[in-house]
Amino acid sequence: MRQSPSEPDPPGGDILRGAAIALWTVDASGARLHVSDGWPQLSGQSVDDWLAEGVAPLVHPDDRARVERTWEDALRDGLAFEHAFRIIDRRTGEERVLEERAVAEATSRGLVFVGSTDDITARVARERVAAEVARTQAAVERVAALVAAGAALRELAEAVARETGELLGGVTAAVGRFV
């Protein structure tokens, strides 16, 4: 567990070392106090860089304003929050989707946000694939319904043609008797 030099290791620090999720604390002024050693695995950003500059430099430009607003609101109001946003991994340059959650806790130092950050890139990709499969399945079902409707129309047209043919045949025969 890496932390600012003035902070003691939080309870459970040994369990958190190397965890796949990053756990962190930030004070009410936005100063970063602790982050677990899992942070670099999630972001490609070193613990020291996170302590110095936070996640802001990694946030995807299209998500930056929303992430900043979420943090500003949380710090101002002392409220818990949960949000997802994209980052650009410093090691690989890949876009990742992170989910961040935090609760505000009153401590002897004042209000402290205790939070976690998890890489949900794979889950988001699975959800996108599932949505695309659902759209494709719906399209296939619409096409099947149209094909079935087309077959029904063809049967109807054939029946109308038979009936019309029989009617015309009867009319022709009746006219022929009078001519």
pLDDT in tens, 30-47: 999 999 988 998 899 999
Angstrom distance (rounded) from CA 39 to CA 46:
7
pTM over 0.85: no
Q: What is the pLDDT of residue 101?
A: 96
Q: How far apart are CA 134 and CA 116, in angstroms?
A: 32
Residues 6 or more apart whose Cβ sits within 8 Å of residue 81: 70, 73, 74, 100, 101, 102
State pLDDT tens for residues 152-171.
778 877 877 787 777 776 66
Q: Which class does domain 2-119 fall in?
A: alpha beta
Across the chain, how many H-helices and E-strands are there?
5, 6
Edge-to-edge strands, sheet with 32-35: 2-3, 32-35, 22-27, 110-119, 95-107, 81-88
Percent of the chain with pLDDT over 90: 50
Averaging pLDDT over each range in 51-55, 135-139, 154-158, which range is the top one?
51-55
Judge whether 23 and 116 are in contact, CB under 8 Å.
yes
Strands (E), 4-123: 22-27, 32-35, 81-88, 95-107, 110-119
**Rounded distance, CA 126 to CA 149, Å?**
34
Q: What is the pLDDT of residues 112-128, one digit of tens each?
A: 999 999 999 988 889 88
Enumerate the domain spans of the chain: 2-119
pLDDT given for residue 94 in this prediction? 92
Q: What are the tokens at 58?
A: 């990694």
Contact status, residue 66 vs residue 85, Cβ threshold 8 Å: yes
Amino acid identity of residue 103, one-letter, is V
What does the block give as tokens for 178? 């009078």
Q: How far apart are CA 103 and CA 86, in angstroms?
A: 21
